[in-house]
Structure 1
Amino acid sequence: MNSIRSRLLLWQISALVLTSVVVGVLTFRLAWGGFNDVRDQGLEQIAQAVLRHDKTLNAGSANAAPKAPQDLSILEKKWFAEDRYLDQFVSQIWSNQGVLQYSSLPEVGPPMQPSGHHIVTWRGQSWRLYTLPQGDRLVQVAVTTHIRRQHFYELTTWLLIPLGVLVVVLGMLIHQAVLRSLRPLENMRRELGQRDVADLQAVSTTGLPAEIVPLAETLNQLLTRMDVLLAHQRQFLADAAHELNTPLAAIRLQAQLVRRTPEAERVAALDELDRGILRTSHLVSQLLQLARLEPDARRSEHAMVQLDALVREVVVSFAARAAEHRIDLGLTSADPACVRGDAQALRAMLDNLVDNALRYAGEGARVDLALRVEGHHAVVEVMDNGPGIAAADRERVQERFVRLDQGQSTGSGLGLAIVRSIADLHAAHFEITDAPSGGLLARIRFPMAADTPTPT
């Protein structure tokens, strides 16, 4: 499960457990060393006590025979009279010649060692001992390592209990800290989940942690874009319904007139009906093109497009229509140019440019297409010698459903809006200016692809 909460808990609790293990090992080693030091000091104190209280040693009799256990000093009898004290330590008194004179138990204990602390093996067991010389004798106190370890392990249990409690308490605190830290995200999720579909208000960033504020701001930007998008869609649907209402009503009226028209005039009425159907079909086609260019529409599949070939195809496809209206349609230049884009959208853009030029230039006019390469840009120009557009209206005419001449215009007011949308989609610059011949010049500047051949 890919969860931030689970990851945080896993990493933090794992780090806590690992740290506790390391601390436990270090504590064990330090405690074991300190325990041995304390017990070794205890051996020294016992050895000194035996020297102070042993009457035979104080008498200074160097040749006295070894005593039986019942002849030991009162201190030794008190400490070592019972076998159960074997698990504590064994005390011995040796002469300098290595003769055992006293022992807490007969024949029990490791052999005599030099002065100081030692670790020796005797009868298969490891012993820790301390030897203290005094005159012609020395006292040796020893204890088995096994017994010492048992005593230490009894203490270790009490050392581990606080560490275990610490791990449990810190684990619970970490769990609560993670839950509280992620609570703002949960609150944001709950707030967004309870919203209505049309509620695209910005999420409040008040009181949010600094790490979540950028996420909330980015989400607010997305909500703002969605709100603008939905507003555009609502406006588009309203405009489309309004624009379609007029031609459909006209077609319905023309159809009724055809039924009432005498046989001799019916052909002219049918021609008028055909023109109305053609205008409506053109409007629907442009509406569909504009709908495909909406930001939420299907993502365009950009590929390498040979722009010069596309320009030639457009000129050929409009040649018959230009000849019908006695318009001189030509291609003045077509430098090899390759751009990255959607071939279908680019073709629709060129079709709308040429269609607008043929529609508004007037009969007997001239319309020229040109494709030039300027540096790293491909420039497409559509120029006519028609009446043109006033400078004050050139920005407004690029908006949807804007027709400057409502009475004589047969267009839908969508052509240049489609051109501008497609140009924006391809990171191209679209502008309208005066043509040298006195008409209108529409220019689109495309960034060229890197593998475009240099024109000759």
Structure 2
Amino acid sequence: MDGFKTKLSSSLQFRIALALTIVMVIAAMSIGAIGFYSAFHDAHELQDDQLRDIAAMTDAERLTVGQANALAPSELEDPESHFIVQLIDPNSSVATSEPSTDIKFPNNLTNGTKTLLVQHKKWRVFVRPLPSGEKLVVGQRTEVRDEIAEHAGFRTLVPILVLIPFLIVLIIAVLRWMLAPLTKLSAELNARHPEDMRELHSHDLPTELRPFIVSINSMLSRLSLVLEQQRRFVADAAHELRSPLTALSLQTQNLATHALPDAVQGQLHEFRRGLKRANELVEQLLALARAQLDLPTKLQPVSLQLVVKTVFEEMMPLADSKKIEIGLEQNAEVYVEASEVDLVTVLRNLVDNAIRYTNIEGRVDVMIKIDNAWAVIEVQDNGPGISQEEQERVFDPFYRILGSKQTGSGLGLSIVKSIVTKLRGEVAMRCANLSSASGLVAQVKLPLLQRSDFATMDKK
């Protein structure tokens, strides 16, 4: 729940919608208050005008001092809406009224309109002096005026309040439409491979966001340049090391043909083993550089079954040395668009890892299958497996699992990931046996090539 609140609070769409909603509510309340005040003022004036008109039209000679007369026009059926007409004598100390009305206006009222509190009720009255010295009082309860003002205020406010939810939905829809190019750009970025440093297009984005995209493109350009320099450095360094290491290897081979003391022969053997590991490291560095550099590669239809057969022939001596059975499981002939050398490199590294980390008399299986538009290769072993935390880190260059007794440079899986990424595929690791967290499955997914696509590729 806290995560959802945090996501909402950080959403630009939510912030804009909330701000506009608050503004609309404040505006609606302000309009309602202004409407109420205006209606109250108009009702006040209307009531005063009615009191004056009734006082002007009333024949005072037909009234008796102290007698209250209620006027109830047909449109004013509510008793609180009745007008009370009463004749008062300023010289009298007591005002009387009929029991039916029980209204007693004070005798000492001054002329004009005013608001009185009579018997705990608020009245609006108009007092008109008469030639006889008496005064004519016309009054009405203020509730009538207040109700008119309230009804007018509600008539102004309610339509706005009813309209606010529809306006909120409309605002959200408009915001989504306006931010759709940004959402599309975000989806495009998420779908990109890490090595894809192409510039982002900003022609569909609002003008305010274009400087932001320009800055991102500038950063991508600089990052691409730095990565290119690093890859070139690795390739150049490996290439420069290759020649002297090859020369040293030849010299040690020549030296081994001479009669040497046993102690020297042992040291020479260890030296040659070190040279072999150094040569393997250089070869893997070159392979990693070739996989990471955006070099033109001729793509062609490649049968995964033939790739597996080639790799099995290479890996069979290593598997036999550990008495490990290797097998192939396939459902149909599967083709992908790739370089055969790259695919052999990928599968060789995966099978080599599986054999090295599987115990003696273990088993390694390679499975080829189709999953919708993907060609899937899985290399499964019954070895000790690796933890979930390390299943992502094993693809980092030079990363090796602590405690493993196997030698290596830690570049094999980095090469695999670089090649698979270049081929627009995916690679991942998972436990073969979840209950015991043992065994490992290395899965590679590549875009499936249908046989109908072969003719199109030949034309290209």
Compute the TM-score of the two structures, normalised by the length of structure 2. Answer: 0.48
